[in-house]
Amino acid sequence: MGSYYGLTLVSTHLAGDRFVNFFLSGVIEVPSLLLEFYLFNKIGRKRTMILWFATAGVSLIISTALLTVFKDNVLETVATVFALVGKSASTGCTSTMFLYTPEIYPTNYRNSGLGIASSISRIGGILAPFASNLALIALWIPGAIFGGMCLLVVLLAIRLPESAAHELPTTIAECNKWEEQDNISSMSFEVKPGPSDEDGEKSVRL
């Protein structure tokens, strides 16, 4: 969430007109919100979240690299485009997390779990205004921080269960079964030799 607020504040420091950039940083949120509904039903909550965070992280790092290495006006514009793509992806990250987070908690911990997660995320919101000050020192610092944190979330989210294929859990025991079921479904079937048939060929079974 810190990256969402931070990118909104830093948008005025990007190449180009600051008012246009701020306007585009708001408009660019609409496509990600519309695409999110399709992705939820197509690839599930977990993969949608990972996709958004990966897109945001890669886009911000590319934008930061272009601003740091090159000083060409055209490449600065390209860096602004990647920064806006990262802002759009961060919007998808935020909305996806608010849907996905309650679904992985059991009923008796769902309210507390969402509240704690939301409270911790506000730390990023508190620190976000300082991203604008960091951009005055070096324009690459906010993008490097936001991009690196997004990629870190991708690595941590790999171990999370997919909630779209399950009913909302009511107990911790049901949550523990999710991982077992996900591991079984992700395993490839092992081909075992069966008894010989009448033609002398080996039959196989899954």
Residue range 124-177, pLDDT digits in tens: 777 777 777 777 777 777 778 888 888 998 998 888 888 877 778 888 787 777
CA distance 133 to 128: 10
What pTM was computed for the model? 0.73
Report the alpha-carbon distance of residue 72 to residue 159 in Å, rounded: 41
Q: How many CB atoms lie within 10 A of CB 99?
A: 14
What the chain holds in terms of domains, given with CATH numbers, is 2-171 (1.20.1250.20)
Give me the amino acid identity at 39.
L
Query: pLDDT (tens digit, 9 = 90+) per residue, 95-127?
Result: 888 888 888 888 888 888 888 888 887 787 777
Location of structure tokens 């996709």: 51
Whether residue 41 is predicted with pLDDT greater than 80 in this model: the reply is yes
Q: pLDDT tens digits for 66-88?
A: 877 767 677 778 888 888 888 88
Enter the tokens of residue 18. Answer: 């600051």
Tokens of 206: 């899954």
Residue type present at position 202: K
User: Among 132, 136, 144, which Cα is nearest to 65's?
Assistant: 144
Tokens of 171: 């107990």
Instruction: Give the residue with greater pLDDT, 90 vs 199.
Output: 90
